[in-house]
Structure 1
Amino acid sequence: YGDYPEIIKQEPMTITSGRFVNHNDIQDKRKIAVIGDGVRNELYDQGETVIGTYIKIQGVNFMVVGTYQKKDDGGGEEGQKEIYVPFTAFSQAFNTSNDVGWMAITANDGSSISDLKEKIVGVVKEKRKIHPDDKRAVGYFDLYEQFNRVESLFGALRWVAYFVGVLVLLSGIIGVSNIMLIVIKERTKEIGIRRALGEAPWSIKKQILMESIFLTIISGMIGIVFGAAFIYGVNAVLDSVGPVDMFINPSVSLAVVVSALIILVFSGLLAGFIPAQSAIKI
């Protein structure tokens, strides 16, 4: 892309080596280039010096002065294969005069680009002498609006995941409860003897509840281990194919694990309540 230094504010990126395009490059029409990590990986060997070397773009040599990695790129390594050169050098090298193919505009803090886009399009039409009613002459898209749509989609998916999780949890509670009822049925004589010897009903009830909680926690911990192993596998796959920031470093926080354990304890109590009530009636 032929661009200006301000593009780094529009598309946040980390300069991994060297520097980015500056205004001196623009003024002097310097044939310099800043390449993405994807380009570097394709053109250079691991550990090879990049800064100060030359690459050829459509027959024109540009000196590499920096490399970058985008901070927010859902396209993986493909998004790191872009090359930035000074706009003036681009125009001169490829004879595009001062034609601008596209521009990125960000609103100041406290303002919404969605509220400003109609005014911006109006200014462009006025500058280019385009009829105000021409809806197709100037194309644009609102990244904030697109983000909200994607966020709404993921929000809906989260609610679906919660719903499925609740159903799975309920089925687990029913399963544990049935297991404990079978266990109590097989231990009817034992419980009857303990009651005959004067053991308090609460003691028997407590034992059943503790066994139910233990069974629920063990099952839940096995699920957490399998989930952690799955996430580790996903991380390994993502590391092998390159960065995909939409799914960067998937992980389960300690707070989630603690919350899961609390839910498991509560579920164990719920699952063991009916069997415990049956046990003290023997």
Structure 2
Amino acid sequence: MKALFVCVLLTLVCHVQILSAEVLLNRNDKFEFLVHTCPNGDRSTPLLIQRWNMEMDKIPNATEKILDLLESFRSQGASGEQTFRILTALWRRQNLQPGQLERLTREIRLMDTPRERPNHKDQNYIVGVLNVLRDYPTDEHESLGLKFLQAHDSVSLAAYNLLADIGGVRSFHALEHYLAEFRRANEGYVNWSILHLEEKMAFMSRRLVNEGKLPPSAIRSPVTVEEAGRPIKLERSNTPNQTVAPGTGVLPESSGLIAWVVILMCFAALGLLWIFLMQFARKKKAA
């Protein structure tokens, strides 16, 4: 009887833990789990992004909730990586309304252009917001891109990518100047940053020609490694990747609950096996 009682108790404990985990995941934890595991980087294939959005669509007002989560994390002084991950989720949603875009850009509109390297939190935040705006071409967003094109490192490169995607003729000339300065600063040394910038310029020139804003003669062709400069040493730069949302693959803290449930179930199974073996041994001795 005692062994039976122990088995029943362990089974009930396991069921309670599993049900608790399911309830949590079906509420806010499921939402935050989706936000923090948004496909990104090497995991950002179109199919994965589509499936992720399908799961996010099951949550009412998901995009608005992502904005709420972003503001909450930002006000609590969350790390740059945490806010960047949330901004990546907004980028993948691609369904922000005008009021939500105004809410998203409110903080960076009030910022001065950081001439020096901004702190890590602000740097990731600005880059993340500029990435989101790449799907929403407006004059105001173009002006923000031109503003931060004068900034430092990854912020200016995020602005470059934004302007290449949504900018008009004034942005085209600004990027030509930026690229020329970048090439001069890296003369005699070729890295993947130059090839990336040249590719974006070629894309932008074709887009503006197709829109009738530039003559066909303005089309630029992507350069090869040899054309980009004297290839002293090829080295993949980390800089362009900073303008694309860095998927960390880190699961939210709530996922640790599932791990404990699994561990508890394993111990319960071992306990049941031990009880069964003990009873079997006693019966064998009695026989």
Tell me whether the two structures share a fold, i.e. TM-score over 0.5: no
> Which range, TM-score by smaller chain?
under 0.3
Whose strand fraction is larger, Structure 1's or Structure 2's? 1
TM-score by structure 2 length? 0.22
